[in-house]
Chain A
Amino acid sequence: MQNLNLLSAQWVAPTVDYHGLAPELVVAGGLCLVLILDLFIDERKKWLLSIISSFTLLAAMIPVITLALSETSVRSMFGDRYVVDNFSLVMKGVFLLAGYVVVLLSSSHVEEGEYWRGEYWFLLLSSLLGMLMMTSSRDLVSIFVALEFLSIPAYMLAAWRKRDPKSNEAGVKYFMLGVFASAVMLYGMSLLYGVTNSTLLVDIAAKTTATGDFAAVQVLAVVFVIVGFAFKVSAVPFHTWAPDTYEGAPAPVTAFLSVASKAAGFVALVVLIYTAFPLAQDIWQPFIWVLSALTMTVGNVLALKQKNIVRMIAYSSISQGGFVLMPLAVAGMAGSGSSALRSVVLYMIIYAATNLGVFGVILAVSRKTRSGEVSSFGGLFSYAPTLGVLMTLFLASLAGIPPLGGWIAKFAAFQSLLQSQSTWGYALAIIGAVNSVIAFGYYGNVMREIWMRPVPDGDTTPIQIPGSLSLALGITSVATLTFGVLPGVALHFADLAEIAGAIIR
Chain B
Amino acid sequence: MNMLRDNNWVLSVGTFLPILGVVVMMLMPKAQDQAVKFVALVTSIATLAVGIFTAMKFDFDQAEKMQFVAETKWISVIKSSYLIGVDGISLPLYLLSMVITLLVVIYSLNHLPNPGKPKAFFALLLVLQTGMAGTFIAQDLILFFVFFELVLLPMFFMIGVWGGEQRQYASIKFFLYTMFGSALMLVAFLALFFKTGAESFSIPYLIENGGSIAKNVQIWIFAGMFVGFAVKVPMFPFHTWLPDAHTQAPTQGSVILAAVLLKLGTYGFVRIALPILPLAAREWAPYIGGLAVIGIIYGALGCLAQSDMKRLIAFSSVAHMGFVMLGISTLTSFGINAAMFGMVAHGLITGMLFFIAGSVKERYHTLEISKIGGMLTQMPRLGWIFGFCCMASLGLPGLAGFWGEFPAILSTYNPAAGLNVTVYRVFMVIAALGTVFAAAYLLWLYQRIAFGTPKNNSHDEHSTHEELHDVTTHEWLAWSPLLIGILVLGIMPNLLFSVFDPAVQVTLSVFGG
* Chain A residues near B (Cβ < 8 Å): 342, 381-382, 385, 392, 396, 399, 401-403, 407-408, 411-412, 414-415, 417-419, 421, 426, 429-430, 432-434, 436-437, 440-441, 444-445, 447-448, 451-452, 486-488, 491-492, 494-495
Contacts and interface: CB of A to CB of B under 8 A. Distances in A.
Interface in B152-175: 152-153, 156-157, 160-161, 167-168, 171-172, 175
B180 A488 contact: no
Given A433-B183, A437-B183, A491 B157 contact: no
B150 interface: yes
A487 B73 CA distance: 11
Given A401-B179, A487-B74, 18 more contacts: A381-B120, A382-B117, A385-B120, A396-B153, A411-B190, A415-B190, A419-B194, A426-B191, A444-B171, A444-B175, A445-B172, A451-B160, A451-B161, A452-B160, A452-B171, A487-B78, A491-B77, A491-B78
Contact of B168 (A426, A448, A487, A491): A448
Contacts of A433: 180, 183-184, 186-187
A401 B149 contact: yes
24 contacts: A381-B120, A385-B120, A396-B153, A402-B145, A402-B146, A402-B147, A403-B150, A411-B142, A418-B187, A418-B190, A432-B183, A436-B179, A437-B179, A437-B180, A440-B175, A444-B175, A445-B172, A447-B157, A448-B168, A448-B172, A452-B171, A487-B74, A488-B76, A491-B75
A419 B193 CA distance: 9
B488 interface: no
Contact of A429 (B115, B160, B187): B187
B9 to A, nearest CB: 19
B149 A418 contact: no
A444 B169 CA distance: 11
Contacts of B190: 411, 414-415, 417-418, 429
A488 B77 contact: yes
A480 B73 CA distance: 20
A404 B508 CA distance: 35
A297 B183 CA distance: 15
B20 interface: no
Interface in B317-376: none
A381 to B, nearest CB: 7
Interface residues of B, number: 40
Overall SS of chain A's interface: helix
A373 B152 CA distance: 27
A419 B75 CA distance: 17
A418 B191 contact: yes
Contacts of B148: 402
Contacts of A452: 160-161, 167-168, 171
A440 B149 CA distance: 13
B178 to A, nearest CB: 9
Nearest to B80: A487
A441 B176 contact: yes
A448 B187 contact: no
B156 A444 contact: yes
Interface string B65-77: 0000000011111
Nearest to A418: B190
A381 B187 CA distance: 34
Contacts of B157: 392, 447, 451
A440 B179 contact: yes
Nearest to A399: B179
Interface in B184-199: 184, 186-187, 190-191, 193-195, 198
B150 to A, nearest CB: 6
By Cβ-Cβ distance, the 3 closest A-B pairs, closest first, are: A433-B183, A402-B146, A402-B149
A411 B142 CA distance: 9
Contacts of A486: 74
A407 B78 contact: no
Nearest to A389: B120
Given A429-B187, A436-B183, A452-B168, A487 B153 contact: no
B194 A403 contact: no
Contacts of B183: 432-434, 436-437
A441 B176 CA distance: 7
Contact of A430 (B75, B149, B187): B187
A448 B194 contact: no
A158 to B, nearest CB: 34
Given A392-B153, A402-B146, A419 B187 contact: no
